[in-house]
Amino acid sequence: MTERMQHVDQAVEHVIEQTGGEIRLAMPLGLGKPNRFVNALYARVEKDPSLSLDIYTALSLGRPGAGSDLEQRFLNPFADRLFADYEELAYLKPQQRSQLPDNIRVFEFFVQPGSMLGSDSAQQHYISSNYTHVARDLNARGVNVVAQLLAHRQVEGSDEYSFSCNPEVTLDLMPLLKARRDAGQTIIAVGQIHRDLPFMENDAQVGDWLTEMDILLDDPEGHTRLFSTPNMPVNLQDHFVGLHASTLVKDGGTLQIGSGALGDALVHHLRLREQDNPRYLNALNDWKIPADQQQLIDHEGGTAPFREGLYGCSEMMTHGLLTLVDDNIIRRPVYDWAPLQQLEMHNPATPGLALLDALREQSAISRHLDWDQVRSLKRFGIFRDGISKHGDELELPNGVKVANDLDDRATREALKAVFGDHLKGGVVMHGGFFLGPQAFYDRLRELDDEQRAAINMTRISFINHLYGDETLKRLQRQDARFVNTAFTVTLLGAAVADQIEDGRVLSGVGGQYNFVSQAHELEGARSILMVRAWRERGGEAMSNVLFRYGHNTIPRHLRDMVVTEYGVADLRGKTDEEVVMAMLNVADSRFQIELMEEAQAAGKLRRDYQIPEAYRHNNPEHLHVIADRLGEKSFPLFPLGCDFTETEQRLLKALTWLKEKVSQKEYLKLGRRALFQEGSDVEFRDELARMKLDKPEGIRERLYQRLLLTALEASL
């Protein structure tokens, strides 16, 4: 029986008592963690060495940390404003410092990118799993407590609950835990209610699983600010990656996007393609797309506005994907009835006799309808509510009874009055979990009933692979484009996204491998990996296209499409030499010759090969020439909105310039020069005030002021 509790300590004591103090806790990734509950449990176990706590989760999120004093001056006030009273996870900092108590361990299958590179504890306890295998692996570890945030609402006086942001693993894990519970094992399920969590319907509603919830915790102190991730700036390099990727999305197809600036860039250019097509085409025309890439676009993608629209099916429902829903770009509905979906693929299906006959041809319904068939016809809006079956008759809403015989002329005539106006139950967006800026959560809370019903947050096994309902998935996921990111790609087409060369985990595999594999299995589908061709640190440029790398996330036998700011490399079904040639064409020209020579030395490229002239001008200057002509409307810094003030945006650009352009040695030189340099601070008075450097005290603050002014001037 579900117990309702209002004090977190009561829930903690119940869990300890039921488990005997040996707790193996599973929590969702990201937003859905019940911070209030897990922090109280952590504090209780930390004080009592006789207890033990193993935490299994992913993407444990914390306020961003700043390195230098300058970064702290910028970040801390912003973070205070953004996160307000957000309750930090108590285990996160000890985990980062490898200082967890001896009786507490944290196991994660995905970590906040780059946050755990220095943590031996996190590196040693990382579990490498495809997202589709996480429920299986958690169950195998013997988890005996599951806990997550729940959304709550009242409908006509009845309480309803939703897994909201994180049904993806929970829906796959709960049946496994129920089987163990039914076999006599102790399993405790805890739902912590949060009043601001958006309520999602469809599969995310707790529904029948409410009977499996042992504790519903509604602690008055647990309704603190939800964790949010602000929209980060999209620089020019990211914009051109997104621009090229946007040409590969096929009208009427399916779209999956990962998170981050590259995903936001893709969303922006898809919006331009739909809403301001002349401006969109201007950028492509200025780029002078080579003939082979244009042929690829014509065959696999497009540049025209969307006549049919897209269907979204993504592990993470991002702010960008919801924006595409709001913009009516993601609008192609799918239905979880394969015969209806089969008909919908060709032409939008309309309720009527023709649709009934077509469903009969597929043996989806029979001449004499049974109860289940009547329910299905009403569920999808083919019949209006009010029609029912009584023996050998159908009773219509007006009380008229006709023969339950779809070949009967009188029945067919009478049914014309009971067909719906349009199909119901269509879903335009399937998602596994969501995480994003506060404006994203606000928008989810504002959805009307029809909009909310068209979004189905569901199990990860549905989204990330084809097994189970494979026929239906193949029908729904036509012309799918699975768009993800990598930080390095090799000349032979292997991609790196989760781990650096020495074995340390940067983030995790997550669902990337799932989507790449799925792209090779679905007819008409393509995997698109977006990669920045180069990066800059401390004033030194380095190629992200390498001949070799000591690790890969996506092996080269699954190579498909790679997109950089310089274009598209189509690698599927190509020879190694053809792949090398294609990758050289999208590499930065500063590194092309060295890469070419490495491939030639390894025997992977003919000795007399020369990079075509059209690809010898892959450099940042080329991007800037186009951007300067087209302006900010084509390449905005924050295409999906911004949590930063205008002053903070200028500061962010300046601090990024310092970090990328200036090495430590040059930083010291610049600092010494700045000490003796006089300059006007009038132009940047607001920026200096925001950083509390408008009235510098002492040598250190004077140095910071001059460094900041230099960066502000350089990054204008």
Q: Give yes or no: residues 466 and 560 share one domain.
A: yes
Q: Give yes or no: residues 211 and 353 share one domain.
A: no
CATH number at residue 585: 3.40.1080.20
Percent of the chain with pLDDT over 70: 97
C-alpha 347/C-alpha 330 separation (Å) is 17
Return the half-sphere exposure (C-beta side, CA atoms, 13 A cut-off) of residue 12: 19
For residue 536, the cross-strand partners are 541
Tokens representing 292 are 């082979």
Tokens representing 176 are 């496994």
DSSP 449: H
Q: Is residue 246 a part of any domain in this protein?
A: yes
Which one is predicted more confidently, 124 or 714? 124
Q: Give yes or no: residues 692 and 602 share one domain.
A: no
If phi over 0 gives left and psi between -120 and 50 gives alpha, with beta otherwise, what is residue 279? alpha
Q: Is residue 14 a part of any domain in this protein?
A: yes
**What global pTM score does this model have?**
0.94
CATH number at residue 138: 3.40.1080.10
pLDDT in tens, 347-358: 778 999 999 999
pLDDT in tens, 590-627: 999 999 999 999 999 999 999 999 999 999 999 999 99
What angle in degrees, to the nearest 10, is found between the helix axes of 277-287 and 261-275? Answer: 120
Four-residue CA torsion sign, 275, 279, 282, 283: negative
Q: Give yes or no: residues 507 and 615 share one domain.
A: yes
C-alpha 59/C-alpha 108 separation (Å) is 7
Domain's final residue, options 376, 393, 415:
415
User: How many structural domains does the chain have?
Assistant: 4
Residue 680 has pLDDT above 60, yes or no: no
- Mean pLDDT (the chain, rounded): 94
Coil, strand or helix: which one is 296? helix
* Rg of the chain over all Cα atoms, to the nearest angstrom: 28
Q: Is residue 422 a part of any domain in this protein?
A: no
Contact status, residue 356 vs residue 367, Cβ threshold 8 Å: no
C-alpha 597/C-alpha 604 separation (Å) is 10
Q: Give yes or no: residues 11 and 100 share one domain.
A: yes
Q: Give yes or no: residues 306 and 343 share one domain.
A: no
Q: Is residue 111 a part of any domain in this protein?
A: yes
Q: Is 60 exposed, middle or buried (0-12, 13-18, 19+ CB in 10 A)?
A: buried
In this structure, the strands spanning 567-570 and 545-546 are unpaired
Which one is predicted more confidently, 681 or 199? 199
Domain's final residue, options 194, 222, 250:
222
Domain's final residue, options 385, 415, 445:
415
C-alpha 380/C-alpha 26 separation (Å) is 37
Q: Give yes or no: residues 547 and 522 share one domain.
A: yes
Q: Where are the beta strands (DSSP E) in 168-246?
A: 188-193, 215-217
pLDDT in tens, 654-671: 988 887 766 555 656 666
Contact status, residue 499 vs residue 505, Cβ threshold 8 Å: yes
Q: What integer pLDDT is reported at residue 345 of this predicted model?
A: 77
Q: Give yes or no: residues 579 and 655 share one domain.
A: no
Q: Give yes or no: residues 493 and 592 share one domain.
A: yes
Residue 672 has pLDDT above 70, yes or no: no
Coil, strand or helix: which one is 2? coil
Q: Give yes or no: residues 53 and 142 share one domain.
A: yes
- Helical spans, DSSP H, in 84-169: 92-96, 120-124, 134-140
Q: What integer pLDDT is reported at residue 259 of this predicted model?
A: 87
Q: Give yes or no: residues 592 and 475 share one domain.
A: yes
Q: Which of 226, 162, 218, 201 shows the shortest CA–CA distance to 33? A: 226
Within 10 angstroms of residue 676's Cβ, the number of other Cβ atoms is 7
pLDDT in tens, 309-323: 999 999 999 999 999
C-alpha 365/C-alpha 656 separation (Å) is 62
Q: Is residue 46 a part of any domain in this protein?
A: yes
Q: Give yes or no: residues 583 and 522 share one domain.
A: yes
pLDDT in tens, 91-116: 999 999 999 999 999 999 999 999 99
Return the half-sphere exposure (C-beta side, CA atoms, 13 A cut-off) of residue 687: 27
Contact status, residue 317 vs residue 257, Cβ threshold 8 Å: no
H-helix or E-strand containing 489?
strand 488-490
Q: Is residue 634 a part of any domain in this protein?
A: no
Q: Which of 439, 59, 41, 438 shows the shortest CA–CA distance to 227? A: 438
Contact status, residue 114 vs residue 506, Cβ threshold 8 Å: yes
C-alpha 432/C-alpha 58 separation (Å) is 14
Q: Is residue 682 a part of any domain in this protein?
A: yes
Render the burial of 449-461: b for 16+ CB within 10 Å, e for the rest. Answer: eebbebbbbbbbb
Domain that holds residue 134: 3-222
C-alpha 441/C-alpha 317 separation (Å) is 11
Q: Is residue 627 a part of any domain in this protein?
A: no
